[in-house]
Structure 1
Amino acid sequence: MTDLRPDERVYWDHVVAPEIPLRPLPEQTDVAVIGAGYTGLATALHLARAGRQVTVLEAGAVGAGCSSRNGGMVGPSFHKLGVAGLTARYGPDKTLDIMGEGLRALEYFQSFVAEEGLDCDLQMRGRFRGARTRADYEATARECDWLSRHLDLPCDMIPKAEQHREIGSDTYYGGVVYHRDGGVHPRKLLLALAQKAQAAGVTIHETCPLTALRWDGDRATLATPRGPVRAGEVVMATNAYADAATRAMHRRVVQIRTAAVATEPLSAEMMRALTPKGRMLGESGRLFMWYRPSPDGQRFIFGGRLGRPGGPADTQRRAFAAAVTRVFPQLSDVEFSHVWSGNVAYTPDHSPHLGQQDGVWLAGGYCGSGVTRSLYFGMKLARKILGQPGADTAFDALGFPTVPCKPLSGLGARLLTRWYGHLDARDLRRDRA
Structure 2
Amino acid sequence: MGFAGESNYWLEGAGPAEAAPETSGALPDKVDVAIVGAGYTGLTAALHLARAGRDVAVFDAMGIGFGASSRNGGMVGPGLHKLGITGLVDAYGEEGAVAILGEGLRALDHLEAFVADEGIACDLALTGRFRGARTQAHYEASGRECDWLAAKIGLPTHHVTRADQRAEIGSDFYRGGVVYERDGGVHPRKLLEGIAARAVAAGVRIFAPCAVTGHAKARDGVTLKTARGTLQARELVLATNGYSDRRSNALSRRVIPLETGACAVGPLSPAQMAELTPKGRMHGETGRVFMWYRPTPDGRSFIFGGRFGAGGMDRAAREAAFRASICRVFPQLERAPIPHIWSGLIAYTADHSPHLGHLDGVWMAGGYCGSGVTRGIYFGAKLARRMLKQPDADTAFDALPFKPIPFRPLAGLGAGLMVRKYQMQDARDLKARE
Q: Do they fold alike, i.e. is TM over 0.5?
A: yes
Q: Is 1:363 aligned with 2:365?
A: yes
Q: Distance in 1 between matches of 2:4 and 2:51?
A: 34
| Superimposed CA distance per residue, residues 97-142 of structure 1 (whole angstroms, 9 cap, x where no aligned partner) | 0010000001111011111111101111100000001111111111
- Measured after TM superposition, the shift of residue 217 of structure 1 is 2.9
Hey, what does 1:7 align to over in structure 2?
Answer: 7
- Which stretches in structure 2 are left out of the alignment for 5+ residues? none
Matched residue, 2:140: 138
Contact 1:168 1:328 in 2 (8 A): yes
1:335 Cα deviation from its structure 2 partner: 1.9
Alpha-carbon deviations, 1:35-63, whole Å to 9, x = none? 00000000000000111000001111100
CA contact (8 A) 1:214 1:220 kept: yes
Listed as ranges, the matches of 1:34-183 within 5 Å are 34-183=36-185
Q: Which moved more, 1:131-140 or 1:300-309?
A: 300-309
TM-score scaled by length of structure 2: 0.97
Deviations 1:68-100 (A, max 9, x none): 010000010111111111000111111110010
Asked if structure 1 preserves the Cα contact closer than 8 Å seen for 2:260 and 2:309, the reply is no
How far the C-alpha of 1:153 sits from its partner, in A, is 1.1
- Once residues 9 and 168 of structure 1 are traced to their aligned partners in structure 2, the CA distance between those partners, rounded to angstroms, is 23
Instruction: Work out which of the residue numbers 394, 397, 415 in structure 2 matches 1:395.
Output: 397
Letter in 1 for 2:100: I
Pair 1:272 & 2:277 matched: no
1:20 equivalent in structure 2: 22
- Measured in 1, the distance between the counterparts of 2:278 and 2:104 equals 27
Alignment match of 2:262 (pick from 260, 263, 286)? 260
The one-letter amino acid paired with 1:358 is: D
C-alpha RMSD of the superposition: 1.3
- Matches of 2:249 and 2:25 in 1, distance apart? 27
1:417 counterpart letter in structure 2: V
Amino acid at match of 1:8: N
Contact 2:156 2:182 in 1 (8 A): yes
Distance 1:186 1:4, change over 3 A: farther
Secondary structure of the 1:336 match is: coil
Amino acid at match of 2:291: M
- Distance in 2, matches of 1:222 and 1:7, equals 34
Match of 2:222 in 1: 220
Offset at residue 216 of structure 1 (A): 1.6
**Counterpart in the other structure of 2:31:** 29
Structure 1 residue runs without a partner (length 5+)? none
2:350 maps to which residue? Answer: 348
- AA aligned to 1:59 is A
- Aligned residue among 191, 194, 207 for 2:193: 191
Contact 1:12 1:187 in 2 (8 A): no
Whether the aligned pair in 2 keeps the contact of 1:11 and 1:186 (CA below 8 Å) is no
Contact 1:157/1:176, CA 8 A, preserved across alignment? yes
Letter in 1 for 2:375: R
Cα distance per residue 1:285-318 (max 9 Å; x no partner): 0100000001211111100001434521110000
2:369 pairs with 1:376: no
How many residue pairs get aligned? The number is 432
Rounded Cα–Cα distance in structure 2 between residues aligned with 1:385 and 1:5: 42
- 1:324 maps onto 2:338 in alignment: no
CA 1:408–1:2 in 2, change beyond 3 Å: closer, same or farther?
A: closer
CA distance in 1, matches of 2:282, 2:400: 31
Query: Aligned with 2:11: secondary structure?
Result: coil
Check 1:426–1:6 CA distance in 2 against 1; reply closer, same or farther (3 A cut). closer
| Structure 1 position 11, deviation (Å) | 3.4
**In 2: Cα distance, 1:51 partner to 1:281 partner:** 42
For residues 87 and 108 of structure 1, the distance between their equivalents in structure 2, rounded to whole angstroms, comes to 25
CA contact (8 A) 2:21 2:196 kept: no
Q: C-alpha displacement at 1:333, in angstroms?
A: 1.0
Please tell me the residue identity of whatever aligns with 1:180: R
8 A Cα contact 2:2 2:343, kept in partner: no
- Corresponding residue of 2:251: 249
- 1:309–1:341 Cα contact (<8 Å) kept: no
CA contact (8 A) 2:126 2:184 kept: yes
In 2, Cα distance between equivalents of 1:3 and 1:327: 27
Alpha-carbon shift at residue 393 of structure 1 (Å): 0.4
Q: 1:33 to 1:265 in 2, by over 3 A?
A: same
Does structure 2 retain, via aligned residues, the 8 Å contact 1:383–1:391? yes
Partners of 1:184 and 1:5 in 2: how far apart?
25
